[in-house]
Amino acid sequence: MKRPWYTALICLVFICMPGPKPAFAAPRKITIKMASMVPESTPWGAAFNRLAAEWKTITNGEVELVVYHNGIAGTEADVLRKLKMNQVQAAVLSAIGLNPITPGVMALSTPFLIRNNTELDLILKDLKPELEQQINSKGFYTLAWSKVGWIKFFSKTPIFVPDDLKRQKLGTDENEPALMDVLKAMGFQMVPVNFSQVLIYLNGGMIDAVYQSPVTVGGMQIFGLAKNMASINVAPFMGTIIVNGAAWRSIPEKYKPALIRSVREMERELDASIQELEAEVIKTMRQYGLVENQLTSAQEQLWYDDAKQIVPALMGPAINQIVFRRIDTILQAHRAGR
């Protein structure tokens, strides 16, 4: 009868004794540093910040997503290297940045191949699972894909047909050699320039035109010097969020389904708003002097024909032939109504 009382007394004495006491282990905090070239002031920057807050809530603070906006982590090539070294654990990469991981993705950005959102949705539905598998097989995990709008030409003088652009110096990101090679093969005067120096190059006459998304052009005020925008879509601008395999494996399995759902929800929201946002940005730029050069169907066809002539010579390092042929086959059937 006395044993329970005696045991309790020993426990009480032990608790009251001076010295260190056993403690419950605190939850392990996991920090995921994500690099993004996108300005924080854009809808994507805001969405990434919301995502960071959601991940913290979902994991009760165990997983902290820290977003490095505005390209402060370096170029996409720098970021990819840092991903492999685990200096950053996640990144938002364009097709250019993903190209070293899965070369097939660059085919999505072949100039004048995919021409509108309907065609882009059709191609992504077919290719995304395969591209994600390729990315994941290289030691990464694909979290989401996001449309960032359409690349267009912005220039000092109007552009309607290819010859109009061939007379101008076209600025290209010095870190995008693959796309530069494609446009150079089409006969354009390509001038490598760091994107942060675009306004200086335009103002100094070193370049006359650039290709970029309207949202980026509006945010950087590029249209103040390159006042003309050709209506034709050059290529879709895509962003992909990937995380390195080690970081993804470090996250407790119980949280992953909810984390993935939060990213995919962000992806759906951005995709649903991008067309409206792009239209609104173009409308605002028009109010401040932007002139949209509206191409006719015949003028658009000149661009398509020019691109079709040079693409076969670029198969290999710049454009993956297998993926390109697959995209082209799907598009031809779609355009023929099959």
Over residues 94-119, the pLDDT tens digits come to 888 888 888 888 889 888 999 999 99
- 27-53 pLDDT, tens digit each: 679 999 999 988 787 778 899 999 999
Rg (Cα) of the chain, in Å, rounded?
A: 25
What pLDDT does 1 receive?
Answer: 42
Kindly report which listed range (5-14, 59-68, 144-153) carries the lowest average pLDDT score: 5-14
Predicted confidence at residue 12, as pLDDT, reads: 37
Alpha-carbon 193 to chain mean position: 20
Dmax over CA atoms of the chain, in Å, equals: 103
Non-local (6+) Cβ contacts of 83 within 8 A are 35, 89, 90, 91, 140, 242, 244
- From the DSSP assignment, how many helices (H) and strands (E) are in the chain? 13, 10
Separation of alpha carbons 65 and 97, rounded Å: 21
Highest mean pLDDT among 1-10, 147-156, 252-261: 252-261
H or E element that contains 293: strand 291-293
Provide the b/e sequence for 288-309 (b: ≥16 CB within 10 Å).
eebeebebeeebbebbeebbee
Directed axis angle between helix 321-335 and helix 117-137, to 10°?
A: 150
Q: How far apart are CA 34 and CA 31, in angstroms?
A: 10
- Residue 234, phi-psi category: left (phi > 0), alpha (psi -120 to 50), beta (remainder): alpha
DSSP letter for each residue of 61-93: TSEEEEEE-TTTT--HHHHHHHHHTTSSSEEEE
Beta strands of 125-215 (E only): which ranges? 140-155, 169-173, 189-193, 209-212
Residue 2: predicted pLDDT: 44
Rounded to an integer, the average pLDDT of 84-88 is 95
Tens of pLDDT, residue by residue over 258-313, are: 999 999 999 988 888 888 888 999 999 999 999 999 999 999 999 999 998 888 77
Instruction: Report, as an integer, the average pLDDT of 140-153.
Output: 91
pLDDT band at 17 (very low <50, low <70, confident <90, very high): very low
Distance in angstroms (rounded) separating the CA atoms of residues 270 and 247 = 25
Structure tokens at 244: 């390195």
Q: What is the pTM of this model?
A: 0.82
Confidence of residue 6 (pLDDT cuts 50, 70, 90): very low
Q: Which two tokens stand for residue 173?
A: 């990101």
User: With left for phi above 0 and alpha for psi between -120 and 50, is residue 61 left, alpha or beta?
Assistant: left
